[in-house]
Structure 1
Amino acid sequence: MLAAKEAQPDNFQPSYELGILYQSEKRKADALAAFSYAYDRNPSDARTVMAFALHLATDGHTDAALSVLERALPRSIETLRNIGMASQFTRFVTDFRHEEANALHEKAKPFRTTLDNIKKSITNAVQTQTPFAMVRIGDGEGTWLHRSTRDETRYGALYDRNREEFWNIWFGADQISAQGGFYAALTDLRHVLRTADVIGSPSLSWIRHEYEIASIRGVPGTINALRCALELKSRKAALFTESLHYQLDSSGFLKELLASQSRVGVMSCHPDIVDHIKGQFGVKDVDYYPIPGEPSRRHLHGEGTVTGRHFPDFFHKNMKLIAENDQRGRVVLVGGGILGKLYALRLKREGAIALDIGSIADKWMGKKTRPGF
């Protein structure tokens, strides 16, 4: 790419592509320089305008970012919308600079606990058959959970864009008619999240990563997830990083926990996980709650995954099953995306020890849906 830039110094395209490469490598200064070079040579290219403005904004040059957007001359409705959305992104990172992200992280410190303490809490809940819920909220929850009318007014176009992107990932664009009911269900999550015992939320390193790559979805998503965790947790709830499920698995804790149980529950899009849990952990009985896999990952999940409409069809069926079955004292592993938080908290209400394990189910089943699997 460098050779192409040198061979065509007046062509914006090689520099733009170089900026994308630097962005993927988290070389923010180099990415910004490359996008600047491309913008100087073609200030009318919509992709270059967006990339340059977003990197200026997350690098602290918000006035310069707004100036670039102000000078843009969009030639399509889509570009016009993107300019407005990028302006709101710039407003967001003006309100939540790196320093504010650090301040939020510091504010969360008094509520953070250790992995050993979480293990002890889960073990104690199992031994005493005390209802318990461990949930994790990341950029998806931070994107979809309503915070305030002020937020929606100030960043509405940005939030709408990111909600649509997550919706298409989770459920598919063909299920858009269910969005209203889904949003209504998430208003319940704002209330019941206060009943969680442990909440995993974005780490400072994750938030910094999103700033480094100028992610229009990741920056507000991670920041808002941390804001929600701080605002919605009860006084007794403990905070940990969102990667909690990976640490419980890699440390061997989940294996030991399951091996000590004769009967557990699992919620997953993989029907074969029942035999896996029986074979790998020696659990005699496994109650299975089927949910459809995300359409965006169906090619990774394989043909054996559950298909259908997660929301509202499977969601209401599973909530009914949870209420009808005796959950008292039972360990239930939940891998259900954003709806998994509602499942886990309902399971606790019915007496279970619910653990939001997310994509660990994919890992166990050999599905490479995340980096490092």
Structure 2
Amino acid sequence: MSFDAVRSPAAPAPKRIDTGIRWEVARGGRMQANGTLVVEEPTLVLLAQSDDDAKVREDLVRIRLGGQVCRRFQNQKGVLEVHWQGLKVHEVALLAHGPFETEFNIREFYFPSTFAFKVRFESSRILSKDRFSDFSSELVTLDPPTIEGAEDTDRGAAAQLIATGKAMAESMGLVQGYMTPHRALALQTRIVSALRDRTPFSVVRLGDGEGRLLGYPTFFTDVEVLIQVLYYHFGPTSVDEMRVRRPEDWLEHYAGLLKDMISESVKSADVLGLPVANFYSRQPVAAYFGHAAYACAMFHGLSLARRKDPESFFGTNMFQILAAEGLLLREAAQAAEAVCMVGPWPITEAVGQALGRADLEHIQVPGHATWRGESGHGQFPDLYLYVEDQIVRRGRLGGQLFLIGAGILGKYYCDLIRKRGGVALDVGSVLDSWAGRGLPYALENVEVTLEKYG
């Protein structure tokens, strides 16, 4: 089986319009010389609000409803809805008595975003069904806004969740410097022993991506999971494929499937990596982003792994720390009957040489949607089946070591490998650091290099 065997045709890309100017007319209007917008037919117009004549605010979208729509339904109550990727992200009541304007914040949208609109009045059917149904492929596509400078709130459930998550990490000793030589050696001994004894063993790490899924739908909403997980990790083509297959409940179904995969991998893991306390203070983002996701990872991870002994909990950054010191991975590779790397980068020869395993094998996975530099499908909902097939084809995996850097689906691969008798290490962004590609923070960590194992 190959990638092509499970890949579907790519969906057409949305139309992109430069938002560097003050007004963007979506359809049916024209701009007069004096800057007045004239609407000549039922239409919705997307406008980029400007702080001044030279600077366009990228975090605020203004919508104007005008023309015959307002004249036809004058003084009638209605609703204007804004939809993104099939989900309602904004709703406002309106009274048609002339041009109507509303605005909403898109600070949380991480990617170029194409919006569709629905308008309905009390005495009419939904206008978008016939008149605006094609807007989703014709509207303005906005570039991703910056989230720098956003501040955490000191009130509300998110802030309390974050404070408790940080306190839990501190109480467990998951603070700066937690990886002592004694703990590193103890972990290495457990992994090497599992390989030599041909017993199953897995190390699974939880970060903010897993935390968002584990916290869904109790804490994180449909829109947040769509934007911050599915679209961020797998890209628009994969998201479109999910929507087509299950139009009624696609997001709940696929997010639930990923959540179940993560939960099962945590339950079976022998060692669990959790967010350390200093993670909560290094990100200048709002409470509903990374910090809350780290806290969800902590709560759900401990709940699912409640029978593990204290020495089985490490930080999510455990392999970055070990790799920066040249520890554990070479010793584990030398003890294994076979070594296989599961990740996106073609660095088999260099890694094999560094770990002393010229026979190192590689199962390729699609790169992360954010930096793979190409269109097409991510690992989910199809291509992870290719990886699964490659693992299953190897038969029983006793004594075999797998180094996995495959994002959220990497947890599933760890669980699969352990169930087939192998040893799976969720090394994550270590492979990015070794390849010099991928996650920005992995590239910035200049201490993690293959030379450390030379």
Q: TM-score range by the shorter chain?
A: 0.5 to 0.7
Asked if structure 1 preserves the Cα contact closer than 8 Å seen for 2:165 and 2:298, the reply is no
Instruction: Report the equivalent of 1:359.
Output: 429
Once the two structures are superposed, what CA deviation does each residue of 1:116-155 show, in whole Å capped at 9, x if it has no partner?
A: 32122112112212110001100110011246xxx62xx4
Which residue of structure 2 lines up, in the alignment, with residue 312 of structure 1?
A: 381
CA contact (8 A) 1:139 1:218 kept: yes
Instruction: Render the CA deviation track for 1:198-235: whole Å, top value 9, x for unaligned.
Output: 1111001102334x643531121111111112111141
1:274 aligned residue (348, 358, 363):
348
Q: Report the number of matched residues.
A: 287
- 1:110-125 alignment, distance < 5 Å: 114-125=183-194
Paired residue for 1:232, among 285, 304, 307?
A: 304
Normalized per residue, which structure has more helix?
1
Question: What residue is the counterpart of 2:104 in the other structure?
Answer: 78
Distance 1:335 1:156, change over 3 A: closer
Tell me which amino acid in the other structure corresponds to 1:92: A
Pair 128,261 (structure 1): closer, same or farther in 2 beyond 3 Å: closer
* Matching residue's letter, 1:104: M
Matched residue type, 1:93: A
Superposition pairs of residues 235-314 of structure 1, within 5 angstroms: 235-236=307-308, 238-252=312-326, 253-261=328-336, 263-270=338-345, 272-299=346-373, 308-314=377-383
Letter in 2 for 1:346: L
User: In structure 1, what is the equivalent of residue 270 of structure 2?
Assistant: 197
Q: Which blocks of at least 5 consecutive residues in structure 1 are unaligned?
A: 1-44, 49-74
| Structure-2 change in CA distance of 1:346 and 1:189 (3 Å) | same
Structure 1 contact 293–307 (Cα < 8 Å) conserved: no
> How many angstroms apart in 2 are the aligned matches of 1:97 and 1:181?
26
* 1:1-373 to 2 correspondences below 5 Å: 76=102, 78-79=104-105, 91-96=156-161, 98=163, 100-106=164-170, 108-109=172-173, 114-146=183-215, 152=218, 155-157=219-221, 160-176=223-239, 177-178=241-242, 179=251, 180-210=253-283, 213-236=285-308, 238-252=312-326, 253-261=328-336, 263-270=338-345, 272-299=346-373, 308-326=377-395, 327-367=397-437, 369=439, 370=442, 371-373=444-446
Aligned residues with identical type, % of pairs:
23
Mean alpha-carbon deviation: is it higher for 330-339 or for 286-295? 286-295
Greater Cα shift, 172-181 or 101-110 = 101-110
Shift, 1:275, TM fit: 1.7
Shift of 1:46: 9.7
User: 1:109 Cα shift?
Assistant: 5.0
Once the two structures are TM-superposed, the CA of residue 81 in structure 1 deviates from its matched residue by 10
1:51-104 per-residue CA deviation (whole Å, 9 max, x = no partner) reads xxxxxxxxxxxxxxxxxxxxxxxx64533997xxx9999532353263x23442
CA contact (8 A) 1:267 1:336 kept: yes
Q: Distance in 1 between matches of 2:394 and 2:438?
A: 32
Q: Which has the larger radius of gyration?
A: 2
Q: Which 5+ residue runs of structure 2 have no aligned equivalent?
A: 1-56, 61-100, 109-150, 243-250, 447-454
Change (3 A) 1:266 1:80: closer
Change in Cα spacing, 1:234 to 1:289, as seen in structure 2 (3 Å) is: farther
Deviations 1:238-282 (A, max 9, x none): 111111111221232213332444521110111x22222333223
Q: In 1, distance between residues paired with 2:319 and 2:301?
A: 17
Cα distance change, pair 319–234 in 1 and its aligned pair in 2 (3 A): farther
Contact 1:162 / 1:217 at 8 angstroms: preserved in 2? no
TM-score, structure 2 normalization: 0.56
CA distance in 2, matches of 1:234, 1:156: 23
**Change in CA separation of 1:174 and 1:119 when aligned onto 2, cut-off 3 Å:** same
Offset from partner CA, 1:160-201 (integer Å, 9 cap, x none): 325422322211123214353353132132134111011111
The TM-score with structure 1 as length reference comes to 0.67
Code of the residue aligned with 2:158 in structure 1: it is V
Q: CA deviation at 1:361?
A: 1.0
> What letter corresponds to residue 139 of structure 1 in structure 2?
D
Distance 1:130 1:341 in 2: 19
SS in 1 for 2:190: helix
Please state whether the residue corresponding to 2:308 is helix, strand or coil.
coil
Q: CA, structure 1 residues 172+122, in 2 after alignment: closer, same or farther (shift >3 Å)? A: same
> How many Å separate the matches in 2 of 1:204 and 1:92?
19
Higher strand fraction (1 or 2): 2
